[in-house]
Amino acid sequence: MNNRSIDKILNNIREAFYEIDVEINQDFLLKLLECEMLISDPLEKKIDLKQLIELEVKRHD
């Protein structure tokens, strides 16, 4: 999946964000999504997702 394809899907999904009312930072949600799409190695992906989540939890604290 090339960057242009990812951008296209991301844009489509991003549009779906605005329709829902979540009390979570949308940039953070998009970062998770980007991480999911850009990293192909499952283990590496999970580690990165975890890091993002933990950073966000810390930030809230």
Partner 1 sequence: MIRIQNITFYNYLPYYKEKVFDLSGKEGTTLIFGDNNMGKTSFINGIKFLFYNTLYKNPDNPDFNIYYNINRKAFAEKDYMFFVSLDFTYEGKEYHFIRRYRTKSDTIGSPKSDNDFEHDEIIKEGDKYFTERERKELINRIIPKNISEFVFFDGENVKKYIEILNDDSDSGAENRKVKEAINNVIGTPYLDSLINNLILIKKEYTDEFDHKLQQHSKDEKKKAEIEKLLIELKEKNSAKDTTKYLLAKTNDELNDVDKKLSNLTRSLSVYEEIGKNQANLDIENQNLENAEKKLKELLSTVAKNLLYDKLSDEKKRNTLIIEKLGTKINDEQKITQEIQQLKGLYKKQECPLCGSNISQDQEQKITQKIETLQKRKNEFSLSNEERNKYNLAKQKIERIDNLLKRGNVSPLQRNNIIQALLDIKMSNSKINEYKQKISRLKDELKDEKTIYDLITKRDMLTQKIKEYEETLQKLEQEINALSNKINNLRKRIKDVVGLDILEKKITFIERIINAFINIRENFIEEMRSKVEREANEIFLDFVNGLNNDIARVEINKNYRMSIFTRNGDKIPVPGTGYNTLLALSLIYGLNRNTHLFGAIFFDAALSNLSNNYTRNVIRTLSSYAPQLIFLAHKDRVDINDVIRVLGGQIVNQFEIYQNGDAFNTNIRRL
Number of neighbouring beta carbons within 10 Å of residue 26: 12
Residue 52 CB contacts under 8 Å (≥ 6 apart), including other chains: 28, 31, 32, 35
Question: If binding is defined by CB under 8 A, does position 17 make contact with partner 1?
Answer: yes
Task: Report d(CA 10, CA 45) in Å as an integer.
Answer: 17
Contact mark string toward partner 1, 23..42, x via CB under 8 A? xx----x--xx--xx--x--
Residues that bind partner 1 (CB under 8 A): 1-2, 4-6, 8-9, 12-13, 15-17, 19-20, 22-24, 29, 32-33, 36-37, 40, 45-46, 49-50, 53-54, 56-57, 60-61
